[in-house]
């Protein structure tokens, strides 16, 4: 068994079978009813966020509290990582002190997999640079399933800064495995070597896709800081394009949103947009993920 397949860790969507994904979706549904929530009272969860986060960090905090965990919050500024302590030593320290589960966001692709071998507590990848974001992917899958009740045959278009998007990487892999047809919209500069085919224009996408998954332009990961003046018109979701989407189609975005860049300001909260529903679903899905890991079901 390789580290990435090790039970009781969630590092990548590549470790999950379709059965495990459906198990998490059904578990999240059950956990919407507080009567079904098991208590992990007396256990400690640590959230170690070494890159900025609003949604993932807060969502994990609330999910952990709803499950009865005491929560320890750590960041890159106040931890001994600033004194040169390694990620592994930091996590080993947390486990030695009594932490039972750790959620980690950090910038090195695959950086967490080197830490799994010697640790007993479950580890969750909350985003590793441009690598993967499995819990975002699972809440996206949950939101798509909530709307369509299936994945097979759906046309899902992932649009935007693919090269720097861990969300795109996790979702493209998982959605293909689940039987969806994936296409991409991107500026040539932001196409990704792992997503090499099935590029279409935004005009083609809006008329043919069931799910339009927009991505944030990740300025913080760019070396060439070009302007975004014409981006909305060329590659984004304008009001005119949204009007051409099919009646049943939905709009997703992992957020934070650059309003007026990848999507017109007026569309962020339009009827088709499930952007804030994704955030609500994130808490329930993260409860399901934690529960499944604690029970050794992943
Ligand atoms: N979608 C997402 O990961 O948002 P945060 O960076 O705010 O956690």
CA of 254 to the centre of ligand 1 (A): 7
Decide whether any atom of ligand 1 lies within 6 Å of the 218 Cβ.
no
Predicted confidence at residue 3, as pLDDT, reads: 37
CA of 261 to the centre of ligand 1 (A): 18
- Is 217 contained in some domain? yes
Same-domain status, 119 and 45: yes
Largest CA distance in the chain: 57
What phi and psi, each to the nearest 5 degrees, are found at residue 131? -80, -90
CA of 54 to the centre of ligand 1 (A): 6
CA-closest residue to ligand 1 atom 4: 55
What residues make up the domain containing 160? Answer: 134-274
Same-domain status, 150 and 71: no
Same-domain status, 148 and 245: yes
- Is 4 contained in some domain? no
| Atom number, ligand 1, closest to the C-alpha of residue 133 | 3
Same-domain status, 286 and 232: no
Sheet holding 70-75, edge to edge: 9-10, 123-128, 101-106, 44-49, 70-75
In this structure, are residues 126 and 135 in contact, taking their beta carbons and an 8 Å threshold?
yes
CA-closest residue to ligand 1 atom 1: 254
The three-state DSSP-derived secondary structure of 86-131 is CHHHHHHHHHHHCCCEEEEEECCCCCCHHHCCCCCCCEEEEEECCC
Predicted confidence at residue 107, as pLDDT, reads: 94
Decide whether any atom of ligand 1 lies within 6 Å of the 136 Cβ.
yes
Predicted confidence at residue 226, as pLDDT, reads: 64
Q: Number of folded domains in the chain?
A: 2
In angstroms, the Cα distances linking 6 to 11, 68, 117, 124, 253 are: 9, 25, 8, 12, 30
Q: Which residues of 45-67 are buried (b: 16+ CB within 10 A; e: fewer)?
A: bbbbbbbebebbbebbbebbebb
Same-domain status, 146 and 267: yes
Same-domain status, 162 and 91: no
Q: Pick from 48, 53, 62 the residue to mutate for probing ligand 1's pocket: most ligand atoms within 8 Å of its CB.
A: 53
In this structure, are residues 30 and 56 in contact, taking their beta carbons and an 8 Å threshold?
no
Predicted confidence at residue 224, as pLDDT, reads: 67
Same-domain status, 263 and 146: yes
CA-closest residue to ligand 1 atom 6: 53
- The H-or-E segment that residue 182 falls in is strand 181-185
Q: Which residues contact 33 (CB under 8 A, 6 or more apart)?
A: none
- Is 2 contained in some domain? no
CA of 256 to the centre of ligand 1 (A): 6
User: Which contacts (CB < 8 Å, 24+ apart) does range 202-208 have?
Assistant: 202/159, 202/234, 202/235, 202/236, 202/237, 202/241, 203/241, 203/244, 205/157, 205/159, 206/237, 206/241, 206/242, 206/244, 206/245, 207/244, 207/245, 207/246, 208/155, 208/157
- Is 268 contained in some domain? yes
- The domain that holds 248 is classified in CATH as 3.40.50.1370
CA of 1 to the centre of ligand 1 (A): 30
Sequence length of the chain is: 298
Same-domain status, 20 and 145: no
From the first residue on, what is the mean pLDDT of each consecutive set of 10 residues in the chain (298 residues)? 57 97 98 93 97 97 98 90 93 97 96 92 96 98 98 97 94 97 93 83 98 89 70 96 98 96 97 98 98 94
- Is 105 contained in some domain? yes
Q: Which residues of 244-271 are buried (b: 16+ CB within 10 A; e: fewer)?
A: ebeeebbbbbbbebbeebbbbeebbeee
Same-domain status, 265 and 149: yes
Same-domain status, 252 and 177: yes
Decide whether any atom of ligand 1 lies within 6 Å of the 257 Cβ.
no
Predicted confidence at residue 293, as pLDDT, reads: 97
Same-domain status, 167 and 265: yes
- Is 207 contained in some domain? yes
Predicted confidence at residue 255, as pLDDT, reads: 96
Same-domain status, 153 and 267: yes
Predicted confidence at residue 5, as pLDDT, reads: 41
- Is 8 contained in some domain? no
In this structure, are residues 107 and 128 in contact, taking their beta carbons and an 8 Å threshold?
yes
- Is 36 contained in some domain? yes
């Amino acid at each position: 068994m390789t580290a990435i397949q090790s039970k009781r860790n969630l590092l990548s969507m590549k470790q999950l079978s379709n059965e495990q994904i459906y198990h998490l979706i059904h578990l999240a549904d059950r956990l919407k009813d507080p009567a079904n929530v098991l208590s992990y009272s007396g256990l400690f969860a640590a959230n170690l966020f070494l890159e900025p986060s609003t949604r993932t960090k807060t969502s994990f905090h609330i999910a952990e509290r709803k499950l009865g965990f005491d929560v320890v919050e750590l960041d890159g500024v106040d931890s001994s990582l600033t004194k040169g302590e390694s990620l592994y030593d930091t996590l080993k320290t947390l486990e030695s002190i009594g932490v039972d589960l750790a959620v980690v966001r950090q910038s090195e692709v695959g950086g967490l997999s080197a830490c799994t071998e010697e640790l007993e507590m479950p580890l969750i990848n909350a985003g590793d640079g441009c690598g993967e974001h499995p819990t975002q992917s699972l809440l996206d899958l949950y939101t798509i399933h909530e709307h369509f009740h299936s994945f097979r045959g759906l046309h899902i278009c992932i649009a935007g800064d693919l090269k720097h998007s861990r969300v795109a990487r996790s979702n493209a892999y998982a959605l293909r495995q689940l039987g969806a047809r994936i296409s991409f919209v991107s500026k040539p500069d932001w196409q990704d070597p792992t997503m090499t085919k099935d590029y279409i224009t935004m005009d083609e996408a809006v008329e043919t896709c069931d799910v339009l998954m927009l991505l944030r332009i990740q300025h913080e990961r760019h070396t060439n800081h070009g302007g975004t003046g014409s981006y909305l018109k060329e590659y984004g979701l304008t009001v005119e394009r949204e009007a051409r989407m099919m009646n049943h189609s939905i709009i997703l975005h992992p957020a934070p949103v650059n309003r007026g860049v990848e999507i017109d300001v007026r569309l962020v909260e339009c009827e088709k947009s499930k952007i804030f529903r994704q955030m609500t679903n994130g808490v329930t899905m993260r409860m399901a993920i934690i529960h499944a890991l604690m029970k050794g079901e992943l």
